[in-house]
Structure 1
Amino acid sequence: MVHIDFATGEETEVDSHPTYELDPRGRVWAQFSSPLIRRRRTGELIGVRYLGERQVIRTLDPHFAEVLARLETLSDGDVSALSSDENEQRWVVSFTHDRDPATYFYDHATGESRLLFRSRENLDPRDLAAMTPVTVTSRDGLPLPCHLTLPVGIEPTGLPLLLFVHGGPWTRDSWGFHAVAQLFANRGYAVLQVNFRGSTGYGKAFTQAAVGEFAGKMHDDLVDGVRWAVEQGYADPDKVAVMGGSYGGYSALVGASFTPDVFAAAVDVVGVSNLVTFLRGQPEQAKANLAYNWYRYVGDPSDPRQEAEMMARSPISRVDQIRKPLMVVQGAQDARVAQAESDQLVDALRERGTPVEYILMEDEGHLFDNQDNAVALYRAAERFLNEHLGIGPRST
């Protein structure tokens, strides 16, 4: 991080970390805090957040360093939302946590602290599964930061495995409470989340390693994560499923069509089936923003050579390879990944006589913000995966 003098152009380094990048999540998602921690009264920078396996805060102010050291004794989670009075004596701090996110009060003058509330008071942390950061090495030697969640009270050997793929793809999975991972761990699954090449927050080279690698090395990274889980003994290779939304839905379709022998079942939620029609269907006002992401990483469908390459990386071009159980979930009001992306795939499969379960939610968009729809989605996914992976019901 540097300070730039606009008058002279001079750059002065403010802070850096030898390994981690600035925590980028607060720039994208409102529920995450800014990477910059500022003094309430003056706006002066007093701390900087970096993110690797876990968050690291580097302090730029002696008083805040003292405060932070005390705050970090309140929870073994990561400091998230943080505020103080103008004298920086009384603080309210929230913690990201894989099982017990909570918010505390702390008085630096007296040393007093107390729990204000737990974010998920209806859940007992003892029933929830720990999320463990692990690193998997890809077949071409790239370290892949991953997160593994194993069920509580079950020997972690030969388990059914859910590979849950994040969207974007220009975002990342990180340590903390993950509702889907907890749901399926509760049902006896191991849950693996792989930060494949192209994920953000691990340096420019890691992100740019995904240029031209949709359905290529990006997918190889996911398969390498599965193979690691099998080799470690956590997963039964005959009971591996893949699921995700948006780019994660595309990955689920790639898994079903490009590597059908790896996965016993797949769940695609608002995923892209045809990269060409997806990009051609973007609103005109959005196309100017595609040059440095989709056009660079995937291709420009107005160029015939690139169009052909994009079709070759599209699941719609390999419907004849889909032979394992597939569930497709789509929001009819989705403005980002249009219903046509799911319709054309489902129609092609049904024309071939290939079974596919299709759930179309008429009142939903891209993110499934309606709680009833989200509950219905995951109930259906749980039932579908249990059925096709041969897993009996387990609920606690």
Structure 2
Amino acid sequence: MNCYKGFFNLLNFSGGIKLIPREYLYSNPNGSFPKISPDGKHLAFLAPRKGVMNIFVCLNSYDVDKAKVITCENRRIVEYYWTYDNNYILYSYDKDGCEEYKIYIVNIITTEMTCLTPYDNVRSMFVQLSPKNPNRIIVAINKPNPNANSLYQINYKTGVITLIEENTQFFEEYTVDDSLKIRCAKRLIKKKDKKDKINEEVCIKDENSNKWRSIITYGIKNARSLKLISIDDEGTIYLVDSRRNEFSAICKLNTSDKELRTEFARPQNQKADINKILLHPKTKKPIAYSVTYLKDKWYCIDEKISYDLDFLRKFNDGELDILSQSLDNKIWTVAFESGNQPPKYYLYNRDNRSINHLFDAYPKLEKYVLAQVFPLVIKSRDDLDLVCYLTLPAGKYDPSTEYKPKKPLPLILHVHGGPWTRDYYGFKADSQFFANRGYAVLNVNYRSSVGLGRSLICAGVGQWGKKMNDDLIDAAKWAISEKIAIKEKIAIYGGSYGGFATLAGLALTNKNENFTFACGVEFSGPSDLDNICSVLKINNPIRTIPSYWKPSYDEFIYRLGGDPDTVKGLKYLQSCSPSNYADNINKPLLIAQGKNDPRVKYEEKNIIAKTLKHNKIPVGYILYCDEGHGFAKPENMLSFVALKEKFLSECLGGKCEAPQLLNHTK
């Protein structure tokens, strides 16, 4: 293992809150994502088989203790679907982290498994299953052109696969109705004769001519403001749209020569975007939706389910997620979780208003005191509202205050990935783990985070390593001023974009800020923005990013804020790249990476590690040879957790469990 030593001295602690074993938080859950079959007779869920998440099925029963395993994969399954004939389950699977997913089907009785997309060096994705055509599915595969996802129809009874739409126009996504007809598609287009050179376009397909016709066009500044949801049984198209407002609404689109868009659902006093949308499983009409600002709040569209939503809210006040529905919409599988409540899964019967417990994700945690999580809003220096979540260790919280500890604590500033995602008020293993070790934890929805309005997303354009970094500094300074954090004991931590932010926080933070992080921990984060752009380019000999990312390239360049094909753009990207400022890093750093990562070349991190080692700065570099972007194998995750726990203990003085380093590293 290439891990530069010099800072891994184990500290011993006793007394106080009992330490939660690492494996209780980071091993596979006891079970997850239960889904009811369309006829409501069978139940499937994910659970460990020999330490790997596989699919289990309860036949003609909801008794999870009698479930049988029907798959035997050696890398976790994360996505699966029932077929509408109720006899099979479809799932996607990636063997080694390279994101070349294949689609498989397994018979729930015989457990016979077949690969439906047996192609190498391509990625297959689910697009549509339909109760009207139960034996056929639509999938997207980046073949024959590896740079675009074309649509295929598969008859899974015969195994016949047919190309139905070759993606010659580089659409990013398609919408298919229940008749398995291709109806809509979205793409980025360049308009050389327009001031706004890049537009996003929604097209519909003419059934008679089989040609595409543009119905909505809007500028790149509004990208990610519109998402197609569904097409109901009457042919109405539903979408989430915020192009004309700060926050999104559910809209209906009746296609004609000109766009005809009407709002279908929007809450009063809205502070955030539409989050979850519940469709009727037969009609595909939206029947409920949620909006998430600090916490998630559900709104009813169809009054027939208003009682059900009220019942579930009263049953558990955690964040509600409706995971699956029987085709008649009478049986649901639901989950509840909160900042200090791991997911709990239930079967809800709308007919008799009964709810039955299926399983908990992490039942072993019931013996431990979990940390309190406080949703709050922090102002950025330019007056943006940053929705944040503060986690305080159990026993350290002062109940006489709104969200403050009894005295300042070491703090972990945890930066989410993406960056076009967001943090929610849900159970986070990292937050509970760090808090259990004695740290406060602060999750920040910095500019570029989604779901909190167009302004926050747009404010992040061209701000990697700049104002996006400022938001994190502002959050850290707020924690100091509120006497939550010890100024000299604040670490920055994250993966993917969060890994980039960690490197930027250590290398690019302006000396005028009068603030420095004490250390950093990052995994799978890019360090060279020019290199990201280079590997995104098609026919580039150093490309590692999947070729089907090509349709998103122009938007990605726009959001980064610099075109590497221009002198000015290249210079800008270089100014935002931590790899060019590695000599500025003078605090301990721990780096982890998957060798098969198709998005970030692991050589980037090795360069930074060597620079820090040369400068005699404590640095650890770990390369997992059987992982991609992030960690899928529990044994790898546990070894990384052990390393970061020791590292943070040495740097910040938190508690530490006995070390456990596993194999699979280099």
TM-score by length of 1: 0.91
Asked if residue 270 in structure 1 is aligned to residue 524 in structure 2, the reply is yes
Task: Call closer, same or farther: CA 1:388–1:43 in 2, change over 3 Å.
Answer: same
Q: Is the 8 A contact 2:390 2:442 kept in 1?
A: yes
- The amino acid that maps onto 2:433 is L
Deviates more, 1:149-158 or 1:277-286: 277-286
Asked if residue 94 in structure 1 is aligned to residue 335 in structure 2, the reply is yes
Distance 1:283 1:218 in 2: 25
**Structure (1 or 2) with the greater strand fraction:** 2
Deviates more, 1:308-317 or 1:95-104: 95-104
Q: Aligned match of 2:461 in 211, 236, 246? A: 211
RMSD of equivalent CA atoms: 2.0
Residues 35-66 of structure 1: CA distance to partner in whole angstroms, max 9, x if unpaired?
32122343332112222111122111112111
How far residue 110 of structure 1 moved from its aligned partner, in angstroms, is: 4.1
Q: Is the 8 A contact 1:271 1:341 kept in 2?
A: no
Task: Call closer, same or farther: CA 1:138–1:368 in 2, change over 3 Å.
Answer: same
Deviates more, 1:291-300 or 1:196-205: 291-300
- Corresponding pairs, count: 384
Q: Is the 8 A contact 2:416 2:498 kept in 1?
A: yes
Q: Aligned match of 2:536 in 275, 282, 306? A: 282
1:291-310 map, 5 Å: 291-310=554-573
Asked if residue 241 in structure 1 is aligned to residue 495 in structure 2, the reply is no
1:282-361 map, 5 Å: 282=536, 284=538, 285=547, 286-361=549-624
Distance 1:263 1:12 in 2: 49
Task: Call closer, same or farther: CA 1:125–1:74 in 2, change over 3 Å.
Answer: farther
Asked if residue 19 in structure 1 is aligned to residue 286 in structure 2, the reply is no
Question: Which structure ranks higher in relative contact order (CA pairs < 8 Å, sequence separation ≥ 6)?
Answer: 2
How far residue 390 of structure 1 moved from its aligned partner, in angstroms, is: 2.7
Q: Aligned match of 2:428 in 158, 172, 178? A: 178
Larger Rg: 2
Distance 1:84 1:361 in 2: 39
**Structure (1 or 2) with the greater helix fraction:** 1
Q: Is the 8 A contact 2:420 2:449 kept in 1?
A: yes
Q: Aligned match of 1:364 in 597, 619, 627? A: 627
Distance 1:276 1:362 in 2: 25
Aligned to 1:45: 286
Q: SS where residue 265 of structure 2 aligns?
A: coil
Q: SS where residue 250 of structure 1 aligns?
A: helix
Structure 2: gaps spanning 5 or more residues: 1-249, 398-404, 539-546, 659-666
Residues 227-266 of structure 1: CA distance to partner in whole angstroms, max 9, x if unpaired?
1111111111111001111111111111111238421110
Distance 2:308 2:444 in 1: 34
How far residue 225 of structure 1 moved from its aligned partner, in angstroms, is: 0.7
1:50-129 map, 5 Å: 50-85=291-326, 88-98=329-339, 99-124=341-366, 127-129=369-371
Structure 1: gaps spanning 5 or more residues: 24-34
Aligned to 1:150: 392
Q: SS where residue 296 of structure 1 aligns?
A: helix
Residues 124-146 of structure 1: CA distance to partner in whole angstroms, max 9, x if unpaired?
17522232211000111111001
TM-score by length of 2: 0.55
Distance 1:381 1:82 in 2: 33
Q: Is the 8 A contact 2:589 2:620 kept in 1?
A: yes
Task: Call closer, same or farther: CA 1:204–1:389 in 2, change over 3 Å.
Answer: same
Q: SS where residue 536 of structure 2 aligns?
A: coil
Percent identity over paired residues? 35
Q: SS where residue 358 of structure 2 aligns?
A: strand
Distance 2:312 2:532 in 1: 47
Distance 2:326 2:565 in 1: 56
Aligned to 1:28: none
Distance 1:306 1:114 in 2: 57
Distance 1:363 1:107 in 2: 42
Distance 2:569 2:284 in 1: 48
Distance 1:241 1:312 in 2: 23
Aligned to 1:190: 440
Q: Is the 8 A contact 1:167 1:248 kept in 2?
A: yes
Distance 1:62 1:375 in 2: 46
Q: Is the 8 A contact 2:523 2:630 kept in 1?
A: no
How far residue 107 of structure 1 moved from its aligned partner, in angstroms, is: 4.1
Q: SS where residue 19 of structure 1 aligns?
A: coil
- The amino acid that maps onto 1:377 is F
